[in-house]
């Protein structure tokens, strides 16, 4: 595909996303109907779409319309590409710009320039205070890729060497050497033998730092295990017995295979079947995902207050549900990938009021750009 044909494809995909389709589904739909596209084309189109979604409002303002064409025209204007050379109508390039399109567009203002939806701003500002603008601006850029070295298989130096042999270069984090930032070759990870053999896992820096800060335990329960990212990290940290549970069995479908690959011993509990108490209970609850909008930028534009209120109730219910599973003197760790206070500190303050037999050990927030994703953890202790 020519560069302009890739822009045409991105316009079509963005129009589907703007029509309500999740970005991954829109990309898959395009991919299936574009067998001619090679892997380089697919990667380039994906990048155009995701960059466009991270900067949707500002680029639509620059391009003069909230549409695939408007966003790609805005991209041309922002990056200094002459739109007349892109919108040529030749081959598979986008159709030439009309006089109205050429005349439209202006510099983004206010929340347009921050690329945030209006609905989130009051809460964003209350939650982030003086960091509100710079965190919003960080969300406009692509996030780095981080790997977790699986200490059950290798040490960081061995993992770095194995990855290097497959053309993937990494740099260890200064405080947590098992966290590796990929500096080159990120697209080769999924097919690499280092990944297939369980030497490394894909996991963002913030959850890695959060898991590393958890108190030591002999028996841990990951109550909202999903695909098992945290359960695998707990098992790799040397906790002898890890039980993974989720309200949805389907969310844990791949966990047994991932655990085998990683050499991790994880017991999978069917929904609602957890028995007994644990000295560490982790609840990585469903949340707005507002800390991860660099990776899932379409979710940013789906944010709504009614959806947030439903999530707040789910988070509260999960916290109350796990109380019987926290052993006396045991720890309850609460995590979200959100930067919004109602899902974080407020949720913990309300829990401590409802459950005076718990006290807080510590809270920690991670914010981009210095951390990778926005993330929150609170560790509570049963008296």
Ligand X SMILES: C[S@@+](CC[C@H](N)C(=O)[O-])C[C@H]1O[C@@H](n2cnc3c(N)ncnc32)[C@H](O)[C@@H]1O
Binding site membership for S-adenosyl-L-methionine: which residues? 246, 284
Instruction: Tell me the site size for ligand X, rule CB under 6 A.
Output: 16
Answer yes or no whether residue 314 interacts with ligand X by CB under 6 A. yes
Q: How big is the CA angle at 68 (ends 66 and 73), to the nearest 5 degrees?
A: 85
Nearer to ligand X, 246 or 279 (CB): 246
- Torsion 155-161-162-167 (CA) sign: positive
Q: Where are the beta strands (DSSP E) in the chain?
A: 146-149, 169-172, 179-184, 200-202, 219-222, 241-245, 266-269, 278-284, 326-336, 358-366, 375-382
d(CA 8, CA 86): 9
243 touches ligand X by CB under 6 A:
no
Which residues within the stretch 209-228 sit at the binding site for ligand X (CB under 6 A)? 223-228
Give whichever of 30 and 375 is closer to ligand X, judged by the CB atom.
Answer: 375
Q: Least distance to ligand X from the beta carbon of 318, Å?
A: 5
In sequence order, which ranges of 153-227 are alpha helices (DSSP H)? Answer: 156-165, 193-196, 205-212
Nearer of residues 72 and 280 to ligand X, judged by Cβ = 280
Counting every residue, how long is the chain? 383
Q: Is 337 a catalytic residue?
A: yes
Query: Residues 62-91: x/- map of binding to ligand X (CB under 6 A)?
Result: ------------------------------
Q: Min. distance of Cβ 275 from ligand X in angstroms?
A: 15
Active-site residue (options: 76, 170, 211, 337)? 337
181, two tokens: 């930032």
Stretch of 77-85, 154-162, 245-253, 374-382 contacting ligand X, by CB under 6 A: 245-253
Q: What is the smallest separation between the CB atom of 223 and ligand X, expressed in angstroms?
A: 5
Integer Cα distance of 57 and 350 in angstroms: 35
- Residue of the chain from 96, 172, 215, 286 that contacts ligand X (CB under 6 A): 286
| DSSP class of 189 | T
- Give binding residues as ranges: 246, 284
Helix 229-236 × helix 205-212 angle, to 10°: 40
- In the complex, what is the shortest distance from the CB of residue 227 to ligand X, in angstroms, rounded to a whole number? 4
Name the token pair of 258: 């991932």
**Interface residues toward ligand X, by CB under 6 A:** 223-230, 246-248, 251, 284, 286, 314, 318
């Amino acid at each position: 595909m020519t560069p302009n044909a890739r822009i045409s494809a991105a316009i079509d995909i963005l129009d589907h996303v703007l029509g309500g389709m999740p970005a991954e589904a829109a990309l898959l739909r395009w991919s299936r109907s574009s067998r001619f596209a090679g892997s380089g084309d697919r990667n380039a189109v994906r990048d155009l779409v995701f960059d466009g979604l991270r900067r949707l409002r500002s680029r639509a303002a620059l391009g003069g319309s909230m549409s695939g064409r408007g966003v790609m025209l805005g991209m041309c204007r922002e990056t200094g590409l002459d739109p007349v050379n892109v919108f040529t109508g030749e081959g598979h390039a986008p159709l030439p710009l009309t006089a109205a399109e050429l005349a439209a567009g202006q510099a983004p203002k206010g929340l347009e320039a921050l690329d945030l939806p209006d609905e989130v701003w009051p809460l964003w500002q209350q939650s982030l205070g003086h960091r509100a603008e710079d965190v919003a601006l960080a969300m406009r850029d692509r996030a780095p890729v981080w790997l977790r070295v699986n200490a059950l298989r290798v040490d960081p130096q061995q993992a770095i060497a194995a990855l290097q042999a497959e053309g993937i270069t990494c740099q260890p984090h200064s405080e947590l050497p098992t966290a590796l930032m990929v500096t080159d070759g990120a697209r080769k990870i999924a097919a690499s033998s280092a990944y297939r053999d369980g030497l490394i896992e894909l996991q963002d820096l913030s959850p890695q730092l959060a898991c590393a800060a958890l108190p030591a335990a002999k028996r841990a329960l990951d109550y909202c295990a999903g695909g098992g990212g945290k359960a695998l990290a707990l098992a790799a940290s040397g906790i002898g017995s890890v039980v993974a549970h989720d309200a949805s069995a389907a969310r844990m479908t791949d966990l047994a295979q991932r655990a085998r690959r990683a050499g991790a011993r994880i017991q999978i509990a069917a929904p609602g079947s957890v028995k007994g108490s644990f000295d560490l209970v982790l609840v990585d609850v469903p949340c707005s995902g507002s800390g991860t909008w660099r990776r899932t930028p379409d979710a940013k534009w789906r944010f709504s207050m009614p959806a947030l209120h439903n999530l707040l109730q789910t988070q509260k219910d999960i916290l109350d549900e796990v109380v019987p599973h926290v052993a006396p003197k045991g720890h309850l760790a609460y995590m979200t990938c959100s930067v919004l206070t109602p899902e974080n500190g407020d949720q913990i303050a309300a829990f401590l009021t409802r459950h005076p037999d718990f006290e807080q050990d510590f809270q920690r927030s991670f914010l981009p750009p210095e951390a990778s994703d926005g993330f929150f953890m609170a560790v509570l202790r049963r008296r």
